Structures are given as structure tokens and as C-alpha cells.
Structure 1
Amino acid sequence: MATAIELTLGVAALLLIFGLVLLQAAQRYLPIDGWPWTGELARFSLVWLTFVTAGVLVTRDSHISIEMIDMVPGDLMRRVVRVVSCLIVAAIGVGLCLEAWELTQTQGILKSPAMQMPMSWLYAVSMIGFVSVVVRSLIAAGQYAVYGAPEPTYDDVEMPTA
């Protein structure tokens, strides 16, 4: 359910970016004054897209990772590295949550130049993604600890031929 909501928000942000950039391009050829808020909202949407979908990447094991450890024989080493890496991601996510909370509380007085949007909104939406990363990383760490790391797949790796 959470994944569907996050992906829906991500798709909405992506469509909004597409529409706003298209509108910016059209404004160049129309005999009307451009709307400066379109570029600003497109940039904010890119930030929201990035952070709101970060938790989905953790769940699908699609976040940035070093896959060399997956090729090491033995389940114990893979399990330990996966659990530790998930805990590190969760710790970083906690730090980002705390910082986003602080910025949400202190930056409400600042407004964006074109839209006059309170900057606390930018950080509040981003915090949703950070919370998701923390929760999903802790769940993944627990799953790796209990069930072990998944068996490596070699689809993306070219194996040397003899």
C-alpha cells in the first residue's frame, strides 16, 4: 500500500515536471508574459520525486549498492554485509529526517521567490521519503538477518570464458 502511494506521488511529480517544462517551452513562442513559477515548481517537483521514491528503491533493492559482495561464496558474509548496509542506510535516513524536521520548523518564514511557497513545505514533503527510507531499511535489515541475502543473479555480469 505504501509503495503504491509513493509511486503514485512519484508519477504525479514526474508528470508535473513534464507539463511544466512543456509549458515553459511553449511560453517562449506565445505572445504572453511567461510565468516564472513554472520553473520553480518543476525544480521542487524534481526534489520531491527523488526523495518520495527513495523508500521504494530500498524495498526493491534498487538503491545504489556494491554488488561484488553478492559474488562471495557463503551466505553468512552476504547476510552480515546486507544487514550492516541496511542499518547504515537507516542511520543516514534518521539523520536526514532530523534535519528535514529542523528545516521544516525553522524555514517556514522563508518563501520561494516566484510562487511564494513556504520553504518548510519543500522539506516536509522530502521528510516523507526519509521516513520511508528508515522504515524500509530496518525492515530489510530484519529480513536479511532472518532469511539471509538473496542468491546472486549473474544476469548483468559477463562471466569470463575459458
Structure 2
Amino acid sequence: MKQGLRRVVQVLTGIELAIACLATALIFVLILFQAAQRYLPVPQIVWAGEMSQFGLIWLTFVAAGVLVTRNGHIAIQLIDNVPGALFARVVQTVAMALVAVISAAFTWACWELVHSAGFLTSPALRLPMSWVYAIALIGLVSATVRAVVAAVQIARFGPPPPDHDGLIVEGEAAR
């Protein structure tokens, strides 16, 4: 069971990182193309800037879940280094619970955007905005689920080791 769950987390992380890499490459290529078309005698492509902005949005939200699992989100290391395993466990559990609640609120708002923005399209590409929001929704759902799992795991097993990158199982806690 634990190995199966670990494998699911690894596969989902791989998919999210692949989408993030594609978004990064998209941003790079489109911004480079925009810079080149200023100096080359080629027709201006209006949608390149718009698509690179969407790529940045997708990169940000899709990577959120991975950052939560890998403990790569914003953290105050000073509190994590305070002596006392119980204090660190409580603080990190509360922090992950807050991340879960905030991610859930953003997920709900994004869900509403996906359903209510079906008639809106982007100015240059005429891309349905619900498609843009749907990719952000995937990342927010991932961040919410991963934060809930992390809060439960930290409360149960303690904080993960600093080089940890996924699911905590018994015997892997830092203390």
C-alpha cells in the first residue's frame, strides 16, 4: 500500500513537473521570439505575449503542488530549528493546515472561474478562458490534496527530513 501510494505521488509529481517544464520552455521561446521580431523584418505576431503570460500562470499554479510536497514553499526556517520536536511538529502541522485551507479556497474560486468564464475568450488568441483556468485548477487541487496529506503526516510522524521529496512513511521522520 505504501509503495503504491508513493508511486502515485511520484507519477503525479512527474506529470506536474513535465507541464511546468513545457510552460517554462513556452515562455522562453515566445519571449525570445518577441525580442527577435522587434529587430527582424517579419510580421508582428500579437498572440506571443499573451501566450507567454498564460504559460507563466500555468507554471506558477502547476508547480504549487510539487512545492508543497517537497517542502519548497515559503517557510520560516528559524521556527523549524527551535529545539523541541513537539513544537516543530505542531508549528509545521498548523502551517500545512493553513496552506490546505487557503489552497482549498483558491480551488473553489478557480472552479467558479472555470464554470463562469466559458463565454470569455482571450483578446489575441481567442482561447476560451475556462481552458486557461482549468490548468490552474489542476495545480490548486494538487496543492490542496498534498497540503492535507502533509499536515496529517507531519502530525502523525513528525517533520520530514530536509532532503525529503514526497510521502512520509513510518520511520522516515526527521526525529
Candidates 82, 85, 88, aligned match of 1:75: 85
Candidates 23, 28, 32, aligned match of 1:18: 28
Q: Secondary structure at the match of 1:110?
A: coil
Cα distance, 1:87 vs structure 2: 0.7
- Over 3 Å counting, the alpha-carbon distance change for 1:150 and 1:29 in structure 2 is same
The answer on 1:104 being equivalent to 2:132 is no
Q: Deviations over 1:43-87 (max 9, x none)?
A: 010000000001110111010011111121111111011111111
* TM-score, structure 2 normalization: 0.84
Q: Secondary structure at the match of 2:115?
A: helix
Whole-angstrom CA distance in 2 between matches of 1:152 and 1:111: 43
The answer on 1:115 being equivalent to 2:115 is no
Q: Please name the residue that 1:63 is paired with.
A: 73
Q: Deviations over 1:94-128 (max 9, x none)?
A: 10111001011111111111000111111111000
- Over 3 Å counting, the alpha-carbon distance change for 1:72 and 1:46 in structure 2 is same
The letter of the residue matching 2:13 is: T
Whole-angstrom CA distance in 1 between matches of 2:53 and 2:15: 21
Q: Please name the residue that 2:39 is paired with.
A: 29
Q: Cα RMSD between the aligned structures? A: 1.4
Range that drifts further, 27-36 or 76-85 = 27-36
* TM-score, structure 1 normalization: 0.90
Q: Please name the residue that 2:154 is paired with.
A: 144
Identity of aligned pairs, percent?
A: 51
The letter of the residue matching 2:51 is: L
Q: Secondary structure at the match of 1:20?
A: helix
Q: Please name the residue that 1:160 is paired with.
A: none
The letter of the residue matching 1:77 is: F
The letter of the residue matching 1:66 is: I
- Do 1:70 and 1:152's aligned partners in 2 also have CA atoms closer than 8 Å? no
The letter of the residue matching 1:125 is: I
Q: Secondary structure at the match of 2:45?
A: coil
Q: Which runs of 5+ in 2 are unaligned?
A: 1-10, 164-175
Q: Please name the residue that 2:51 is paired with.
A: 41
Whole-angstrom CA distance in 1 between matches of 2:91 and 2:63: 24
- Over 3 Å counting, the alpha-carbon distance change for 1:48 and 1:148 in structure 2 is same
Whole-angstrom CA distance in 2 between matches of 1:146 and 1:54: 23
